[in-house]
Amino acid sequence: MPRHRRCRVVLLPGDGIGPEVIAEAAAVLRDAAARAGLPLELEEHRVGGAAIDADGEPLPAAVLEAAKRSDAVLLGAVGSPRHDALPRDRRPEQALLGLRRGLGVYANLRPVKLHPALIGASPLRPERVAGTDMLIVRELTGGLYFGQPRGIQGEGDARRAVNTMTYTVGEIRRIARVAFEAARRRRQKVTSVDKANILETSILWRETVQAVAGDYPGVRLEHLYVDNAAMQLLARPADFDVVLTENMFGDILSDEAAMLAGGIGMLPSASLGEGPGLYEPVHGSAPDIAGKGIANPLAAILSAAMLLRHSLELPEEADRVDAAVAQALDDGARTADLARQGVEVLTTRAMGDAVRERLRPQSAARTQGGTR
């Protein structure tokens, strides 16, 4: 990112708790850019149910264009029960799929890292989840989500639905490279997840991943069938470093893995391709708690940190945000989803403030050993 020009980040708060958590994440972004002396322009648009109501479609063409012209996109969540009855191609979720496809962000990075202060928040025993620190690398623009043909046809008992799982060697190779590159910067291990005992797509997946591994002699590769992977994630979570998998398996396994790290309110994501990156908390719109000011903004704030790191090339600022979140948790800050009984519960705003307070120079000095 050349420092002489302004950076433009498109904010897409979306539905449900999206606007509440994005407000906190945007404030963190503004603070970080200001500290780094980077002129930052934030441009907000409607997507999902909010756009269906106001503009008649989940992802208006002008919004996708704005996203394509930006440096990065920060999205809250899409989806609302009011729009559940709409045909598939007009539902709020289409905004997300349209953005992923339109931006070509094939590599979805979902870090699952247990903060020590949250070790009691997992439904699994502390000794089991201790040390959990993995990166799920999910293929995001292929597989069942986008494969053709698809659809529902016919009448009565002959009514028939079809989805197509398809992958090319090229699609598998580029996501495998992302996983191996990440493993090189981490603990040098890739677990590739497939269903190669049943599916042709998985046979090609396994062959291709194995071939890519040849270029990364320092990285250990293991293959797991997806059903076994679902079990091993709970049995030995700390053994996983980089988990590489296709779109649908990654969708399912990342929700499962969230429960290792304090719940889905803690999981950020980055979706990367050749152009602007798309950053979003892994949690959904949570309509049941929307508008109450009680949602956990940390997944959105940590997504903003990933945006600072990967799209704005401000790794020090990203580190500071990660450290501020860790400090807030260490100091006992808890939203309702993280709190044990009897503990003071913070609102969405108060949790955002707790993080921003710890980003200020004097507290950064305290957490980073006195350097200013």
Which residues lie near Mg ion (CB under 5 A)?
Answer: 251
CA 268 to CA 250: how far, in whole Å? 14
Contacts of 345 (CB under 8 A, 6+ apart): 294, 334, 335, 336, 339
Token pair, residue 118, equals: 């949250």
The catalytic position among 31, 71, 106, 145 is 145
255 or 319, CB closer to ligand IPM? 255
**Is-contact 99 67, C-beta < 8 A?**
yes
201 or 269, CB closer to Mg ion? 269
DSSP string, 14-77: ESTTHHHHHHHHHHHHHHHHHHHT--EEEEE---THHHHHHHSSSS-HHHHHHHHHSSEEEEEE
CB of 73 to Mg ion, least distance (A): 18
277 or 284, CB closer to ligand IPM? 284
Per-residue x/- marks for ligand IPM, 113-152, CB under 6 A?
----------------------------------------
Contacts with ligand IPM by CB under 6 A: the residue count is 6
Contacts of 42 (CB under 8 A, 6+ apart): 8, 9, 11, 26, 29, 30
| 145 counts as catalytic | yes
| 227 counts as catalytic | yes
Place of tokens 């090229």: 170
Quick one: CA dihedral 250, 256, 261, 265, positive or negative?
A: positive
* Exposed e or buried b per residue across 83-116, where buried means at least 16 C-beta atoms within 10 angstroms of its C-beta: beeeeeeebbbbbbbbbbbbbbbbbbbbbbbbbe
CA 259 to CA 223: how far, in whole Å? 23
Task: Considering only residues 281 through 300, tell me which ones interact with ligand IPM, judged by CB under 6 A.
Answer: 282, 284
The catalytic position among 251, 279, 322, 337 is 251
264 or 314, CB closer to ligand IPM? 264
| 255 counts as catalytic | yes
Token pair, residue 81, equals: 């029960």
301 binds ligand IPM (CB under 6 A): no
Among 15, 241, 251, 317, binds ligand IPM (CB under 6 A): 251
| 133 counts as catalytic | no
Q: Is the peptide bond before 60 cis (omega within 30 degrees of 0)?
A: no
Q: Which residues pair with 222 in a beta bridge?
A: 191
The catalytic position among 89, 227, 330, 331 is 227
DSSP string, 168-207: -HHHHHHHHHHHHHHHHTTTSEEEEEE-TTT-HHHHHHHH
38 or 105, CB closer to ligand IPM? 105
Token pair, residue 270, equals: 């980055």
CB of 280 to ligand IPM, least distance (A): 7
Per-residue x/- marks for ligand IPM, 76-105, CB under 6 A?
---x-------------x--x---------
The binder of 319, among Mg ion, ligand IPM, none, by C-beta within 5 to 8 A per type, is none
| 89 counts as catalytic | no
The binder of 93, among Mg ion, ligand IPM, none, by C-beta within 5 to 8 A per type, is ligand IPM
The catalytic position among 71, 113, 167, 195 is 195
133 or 255, CB closer to ligand IPM? 255
CA 305 to CA 55: how far, in whole Å? 31
CB of 331 to Mg ion, least distance (A): 31
The binder of 96, among ligand IPM, Mg ion, none, by C-beta within 5 to 8 A per type, is ligand IPM
Active site (catalytic) residues: 145, 195, 227, 251, 255
Which residues are near ligand IPM by CB under 6 A? Answer: 79, 93, 96, 251, 282, 284
